Amino acid sequence: TDVSTEMILGILPVYVVQELGATRAALGLMEGIAEMTNYMFRLVSGVLSDKLGKRKLFVFIGYAFSGIAKPMFAFAKTWLDALIVRTLDRLGKGIRTSPRDALISQSVREKEAGKAFGIHRTLDQLGAVLGPLTAFIIVPLYGARTLFLISFIPAAIALVILALFVVDVKIERKPRGILVGASKILRGPFLLLLASLVIFNIGAYNFSFVIVRAQELGIPLAAAPLVYMLINLTHTAVGFPSGIAADKWGREKVLLLSFLTFSLTSFILAFATGSWLDAVLIALFFGVFQGMYDTVSRAVLPRYVPEELRGTAYGVYYIAIGLTFLLGISTVGYLWDIYGRRAAFLYSTATSICSTLLLGFLIKQTKT
């Protein structure tokens, strides 16, 4: 599935800006709305999978939805068209993610959750390396629109594998309303953890801004998928070791390290004025951040919630992140357009430092 997705994401930000006429603020708005939709439906699917006692069904529906949506980028005429398609694609991701995360966490012992999510992210990102390579080959020969159409092929193969080989888990069905389930988890350390993640995402951005900035630093359009591949390669290399380190030394500590790495990345983005080597350095640091953050930010949750509420917990977590990410990436894009890159990325640096301090307080509190 990630081959299908990542083969288009390496070229999409530049395509939307250069071919479809989007500003950086519009690009940020597109990514923010798409991810907010993604995260909102993670809450719905998480709660429903808890209530129905089914995980695999929602995972399959979500992957199918995204697989059908992605080829529609080929028919986009404006950035607003791309926004609609991107939102539909992320809707599919929203449907599948909370049930998938719950399925992973319930397929292993709690103390091995970090390792399990690390394996998942590593395999995920191996596909994300093959995707940009595919784009690097296809786009110069056939163009971006052909690439979007071809993305359906690996998505269809993934659906067949999911249907035939993935085994669902049996869970006890305990029907309860969304507010009842949420009220049982929104307290104590979980609430502190969620607050630190919310503050972090108020200043967050994704790979799209890294790729656009890389172009400003001298990376040509044809090589944009290679920048994205470098991010994913670093992500892959860091993901599994991060899961092991989190299980051994504490997931919160590795999450804190990811916040600090993001702060450093944002600081470099703010002040880099050199050559394409700066773009490579930024991509490496951003990949390190993603490898730690994507693995540990999810693996830390099972510690704070009972098993039968994990789907709901992941849903609450994702909707909170989605709403703040929309605000964050839109703000960064706006600041970049109006006040320049330094204002934008120094803002991101400041918010990530604040989230680091709050997470450090949580670590201290859970020790006592």
Q: Is the pLDDT of residue 19 over 60?
A: yes
- Assigned domain for 170 exists: no
- Assigned domain for 171 exists: no
- Assigned domain for 310 exists: yes
Q: Is the pLDDT of residue 313 over 80?
A: no
- Assigned domain for 152 exists: yes
Quick one: pLDDT band at residue 183, thresholds 50, 70, 90? low
Average the pLDDT over each of 43-57, 159-173, 211-225, 246-260 and give the range with the smallest value: 159-173
Which has the higher per-residue pLDDT, 53 or 134? 134
* Per-residue model confidence (pLDDT) at position 281: 94
Tokens of 125: 């990102």
From the list 283, 154, 145, the residue with the least C-alpha distance to 206 is 283
CA pair distance 121, 207, nearest whole angstrom: 16
Task: Please give the residue range of the domain that contains residue 90.
Answer: 2-165+176-367
- Assigned domain for 137 exists: yes
Quick one: pLDDT band at residue 311, thresholds 50, 70, 90? low
Total number of domains in the chain: 1
Q: Is the pLDDT of residue 290 over 80?
A: yes
- Rounded average pLDDT over 42-66: 85
- Rounded average pLDDT over 208-220: 91
CA pair distance 229, 144, nearest whole angstrom: 17
How many CB atoms within 10 Å of residue 77? Answer: 9
pTM to 2 decimal places: 0.82
- Assigned domain for 21 exists: yes
* Per-residue model confidence (pLDDT) at position 219: 87
Mean pLDDT over the full length of the chain: 86
Average the pLDDT over each of 83-97, 156-170, 209-223 and give the range with the smallest value: 156-170
Q: What CATH number should be reported for the domain holding residue 13?
A: 1.20.1250.20
* Per-residue model confidence (pLDDT) at position 182: 56
- Rounded average pLDDT over 121-128: 74
* Per-residue model confidence (pLDDT) at position 184: 62
Distances (CA, A) of 367 to 77, 167, 219, 304, 364: 55, 37, 46, 14, 5
With H, G, I as helix, E, B as strand and everything else as coil, classify residue 169: coil
